[in-house]
């Protein structure tokens, strides 16, 4: 695999650095949740008290809409739309990257949930009345993970493929805001603990960065014509 100068394509270091930093944050949370550590409950309750202190009706309506954008079927749908757009513009290798990162990595979250079997806040405490329906286990948050996978992929593709500065800023800013808002919305509607959300973000970030690092030489390979061979 070669770049435009005919040299072998080297994998960048930053995806591994980001993945390692995410793991440094994720592993203690996993251990804390797995051992039912007191510090996990302290963090969760402190953040919950701040986020749920004031929930006016108008804000709840907005948050319920935002949290619906993180529903797994919605994330997969927008992921497939993204894949379709990339195929349409003949960025086929990047389309396969998007499919792997958004669709396939979503199944990792389900596997981790069944490893920890953490009950949702309203199951642990019947006095909590969630603002939306939620089933299954709580840790890590599938909505937070899905948002990171979808919009993190958009950020990577934007920084790689988009050259217009204003459009790059718009897409990156929008994607970053959506990652944050969808995760926080799950705490607001009280179907996830804050550590569920943080673990979902970190888990997805690790997977996304590793896939980007592994696929990078293939994505950026240049053929004999001088064009990137993502049209094959």
Quick: pLDDT tens for 89-113. 999 999 999 999 887 777 888 888 9
pLDDT score of 225 more than 50: no
Whole-model pTM: value is 0.89
pLDDT score of 133 more than 80: yes
For residues 106 and 42, which has the higher predicted lDDT (pLDDT)?
A: 42
pLDDT score of 2 more than 50: no
Segment (H or E) for 217: helix 194-219
Residue 55 confidence (pLDDT): 87
pLDDT score of 25 more than 90: yes
Among 102, 110, 112, 125, which Cα is nearest to 208's? 102
Chain center to CA of 22: 12
Percent of the chain with pLDDT over 70: 91
Residue 224 confidence (pLDDT): 41
Q: How far apart are CA 10 and CA 8, in angstroms?
A: 6
Query: How would residue 196 be classed by pLDDT, with cut points 50, 70 and 90?
Result: very high
Tokens at 81, concatenated: 């739309």
Segment (H or E) for 184: helix 165-188
Mean pLDDT calculated for residue range 134-153 = 92
Contact 212, 76 (CB under 8 A): no
pLDDT score of 47 more than 90: yes
Task: Look at residue 73 and give its three-state secondary structure.
Answer: helix
Lowest mean pLDDT among 10-19, 71-80, 105-114, 147-156: 105-114
pLDDT digits (tens, 9 = 90+) for 109-129: 888 898 998 999 999 888 888
Residue 58 confidence (pLDDT): 92
Contact 149, 101 (CB under 8 A): yes
Mean pLDDT calculated for residue range 150-170 = 94
Lowest mean pLDDT among 38-47, 58-67, 100-109, 223-232: 223-232
Among 26, 34, 78, which Cα is nearest to 210's? 26
Residue 72 confidence (pLDDT): 87
Query: How would residue 223 be classed by pLDDT, with cut points 50, 70 and 90?
Result: very low
Give the burial class of 218: count Cβ atoms within 10 A of its Cβ; 0-12 exposed, 13-18 middle, 19 or more buried.
Answer: middle
Mean pLDDT calculated for residue range 144-159 = 95
Residue 219 confidence (pLDDT): 87
């Amino acid at each position: 695999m070669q770049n435009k100068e005919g040299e072998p394509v080297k994998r960048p270091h930053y995806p591994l650095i980001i993945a390692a930093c995410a793991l440094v944050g994720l592993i203690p949370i996993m251990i804390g949740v797995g051992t039912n550590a007191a510090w996990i409950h302290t963090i969760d309750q402190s953040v919950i008290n701040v986020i749920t202190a004031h929930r006016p009706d108008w804000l709840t309506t907005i948050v319920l809409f935002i949290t619906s954008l993180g529903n797994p079927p919605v994330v997969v749908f927008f992921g497939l739309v993204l894949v379709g757009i990339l195929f349409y513009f003949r960025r086929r290798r990047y389309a396969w990257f998007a499919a792997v990162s958004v669709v396939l990595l979503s199944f990792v979250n389900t596997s981790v949930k069944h490893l920890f079997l953490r009950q949702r806040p309203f199951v642990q405490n019947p006095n909590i009345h969630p603002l939306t329906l939620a089933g299954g286990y709580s840790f890590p948050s599938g909505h937070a993970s899905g948002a990171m996978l979808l919009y993190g992929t958009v950020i990577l593709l934007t920084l790689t493929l988009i050259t217009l500065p204003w459009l790059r800023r718009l897409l990156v800013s929008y994607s970053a805001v959506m990652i944050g808002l969808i995760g926080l919305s799950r705490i607001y509607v009280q179907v996830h603990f804050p550590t569920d959300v943080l673990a979902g973000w970190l888990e997805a970030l690790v997977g996304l960065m590793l896939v980007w690092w592994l696929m990078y030489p293939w994505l950026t390979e240049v053929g004999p014509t001088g064009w990137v061979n993502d049209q094959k």
